[in-house]
Structure 1
Amino acid sequence: MIKSVDRALQIITIVSSRKDGFGVTELAEQLELNKSSIFRLLSTLAAHNFIEQDLETKKYRLGYKYLELSSKLLDSIDIRSEAKPFLKELESITKEVIHLVVYDQGEVIYIEKLEGSETLRTHSQVGKRAPMHCTSVGKVILAHLPENEVLSILERKGLPKHTENTIVTKEDLFAELVKIKEQGYGTEIEENEPGITCIAAPIFNNRGEIAAAVSVSGPTIRMSSTIMNEMKDKIIEVTQSISRRLGYLG
Structure 2
Amino acid sequence: MTSADHDDSPAAPAGTQAIRRALGTLKLLAEDGGALSVNRIATRLGLSPGTANRMVRALLAEGLVAHDPRTDTYYLGAGTVLLGQAAQQGFGLDKSLPILEALNAETEESVNLAVREKSESVVMLRVQSTLALRFEQRVGARFPLYSTASGKAILAHSPDADAYLDGLPERLEPLAPGTVASRAELARQLAKIRRSGYSTDKEENVAGVRCVGAPVLDADGRAQAALVIQVPTVRMPSDRVRELGARVVTAAKEIARFIPLDRIMSR
1:179 equivalent among 192, 196, 200: 192
1-side partners of 2:109 and 2:191: how far apart? 27
2:93 is the alignment partner of 1:80: yes
Aligned to 1:3: 5
Deviation at 1:187, TM superposition (A): 0.8
Q: 1:176 to 1:208 in 2, by over 3 A?
A: closer
Say which SS state the counterpart of residue 140 (structure 2) adopts. Answer: coil
Give runs of aligned pairs for residues 63-74 of structure 1, distance below 5 A. none
Q: 1:167 to 1:74 in 2, by over 3 A?
A: same
The CA deviation string for residues 10-42 of structure 1, in whole angstroms up to 9 with x for no partner, is 3789xxxxxxxxxxxxxxxxxxxxxxxxxxxxx
Q: Hey, which bits of structure 1, 4+ residues long, moved more than 4 A?
A: 73-77
Deviation at 1:177, TM superposition (A): 0.4
Q: 1:180 to 1:141 in 2, by over 3 A?
A: same
2-side partners of 1:245 and 1:105: how far apart? 22
Contact 1:163 1:193 in 2 (8 A): yes
Give runs of aligned pairs for residues 63-212 of structure 1, distance below 5 A. 77-122=90-135, 124-146=137-159, 147-154=161-168, 159-212=172-225
User: Normalising to structure 1: TM-score of the pair?
Assistant: 0.66
2-side partners of 1:172 and 1:210: how far apart? 21
Question: Which of the pair has more CA radius of gyration?
Answer: 1
Contact 2:112 2:229 in 1 (8 A): yes
Contact 1:205 1:243 in 2 (8 A): yes
2-side partners of 1:201 and 1:76: how far apart? 22
1-side partners of 2:198 and 2:235: how far apart? 19
Deviation at 1:151, TM superposition (A): 2.3
Contact 1:131 1:138 in 2 (8 A): yes
Deviation at 1:227, TM superposition (A): 1.8
Q: Which amino acid aligns with 2:251?
A: V
1-side partners of 2:172 and 2:92: how far apart? 29
Say which SS state the counterpart of residue 177 (structure 1) adopts. Answer: helix
User: Normalising to structure 2: TM-score of the pair?
Assistant: 0.63
Same amino acid, percent of matched pairs: 28
2-side partners of 1:143 and 1:76: how far apart? 27
Aligned to 2:46: none
Say which SS state the counterpart of residue 137 (structure 2) adopts. Answer: coil
